[in-house]
Amino acid sequence: MPARVRAVVFDVGHVLVDWHPRHLYEKLIPDPVALEDFLARVVTLEWHYQHDAGRPFAETSAELAARFPEHRELIAAYGPRFAETIPGHMPGMAEVVAALSARGVPLYGITNFSAEFWPSFRAREAAIFDHFSDVLVSGEVRLVKPDPAIYALALSRFGLARGEALFVDDRPENVAGGEAAGLVGHVFRGAGPLRADLERRGLL
């Protein structure tokens, strides 16, 4: 018989917290046309994802500033002000985490996140992450979702067998990767549908 789901593994960005470079740069670039151009050509999501894979900000920012010297100061602001790209929690999710923890459900995380930016973020969000037994951070292990290796490492590190954990991520390709590794997938579309799924499984 398949294992009963007994734990929950969360993604972080767009599941537990909101995140986007726009939240920082809309403060620094008042003209909306210039802002959209900057986010499309300069500080792009693809550029940021290098940090999730383990590249240091000093390297990526130097390369980007060499390509766009006119934006050197804006690029340099990204690292020191990274916290401003995360304006708050996704609605209702701090309450879901607290409720699961109160029920004694083991909680874990697999996140594509910079190893440099993670410690200060983790400290700032202790109210959520103190409920977690462990979080696997892509930048620390230099593996990113949906690489099959990151899920295999997570299951081994968390001590979870196939079918024992619900994996909650907002990206369908990440959920599919987790399912292939033995996690039970939930594509995150808000706290309400997630809570209903958790209740159906007897976790809440």
Q: Is the dihedral of CA 78, 24, 132, 4 positive or negative?
A: negative
Distance in angstroms (rounded) separating the CA atoms of residues 137 and 128: 16
Tell me if 89 sits within 8 A of 35, measured CB to CB: no
Tell me if 133 sits within 8 A of 104, measured CB to CB: no
Please report, for the chain, the start and end positions of each structural domain, with discontinuous segments joined by +.
Answer: 7-18+87-200, 22-85
Total Cβ atoms within 10 A of residue 84? 16
> What per-residue confidence (pLDDT) applies to 2?
53
Given the candidates 3.40.50.2000, 3.40.50.920, 1.20.1250.20, 3.40.50.1000, the CATH classification of the domain at 7-18+87-200 is 3.40.50.1000
Residue for token digits 């620390």?
Answer: 140
> What per-residue confidence (pLDDT) applies to 135?
98
The whole model's pTM is what? 0.93
The DSSP-derived string for 9-21 is EE--BTTTB---T
Q: Which residue ranges of the chain lie beneath pLDDT 70?
A: 1-3
> What per-residue confidence (pLDDT) applies to 158?
98
Distance in angstroms (rounded) separating the CA atoms of residues 174 and 82: 24
Distance in angstroms (rounded) separating the CA atoms of residues 74 and 72: 6
